[in-house]
């Protein structure tokens, strides 16, 4: 099952970026996922499959995440 990613999700990867930060924000979706480093602002494009292997956890989910919908 493919990984459900949304814009502005904050993810933690297994290995830290050379600047020391392990947290990234999702800034682009598609076959390649765009990420922005929280430490230095560097932007990278990773194939979706590579990101699925490197992903450790979600720190927070973006505003479009369906689990945040309140009813009532």
Higher-confidence residue of 56 and 2: namely 56
Query: Residue 33 domain-assigned?
Result: yes
Rounded mean pLDDT of the chain? 88
In this model, does residue 69 exceed pLDDT 90? no
Structural domain for 24, as ranges? 10-62
pLDDT at 8 over 70: yes
- pTM, whole model, 2 decimals? 0.82
Q: For 3, left (φ over 0), alpha (ψ -120 to 50), or beta?
A: beta
Give the pLDDT score at 3.
Answer: 76
The pLDDT value given to residue 16 = 92
Residue 67 maps to a domain: no
Q: Is residue 52 assigned to a domain?
A: yes
In a domain, 34, yes or no: yes
pLDDT, position 65:
75
């Amino acid at each position: 099952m493919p990984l459900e990613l949304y814009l502005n999700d904050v993810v933690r990867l297994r290995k830290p970026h050379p600047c020391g930060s392990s947290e990234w924000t999702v800034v682009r979706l598609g076959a390649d996922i765009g990420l922005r480093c929280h430490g230095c602002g560097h932007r990278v494009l990773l194939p979706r499959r590579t990101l699925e292997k490197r992903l450790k956890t979600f720190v927070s989910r973006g505003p479009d995440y369906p689990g945040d919908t309140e009813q009532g």
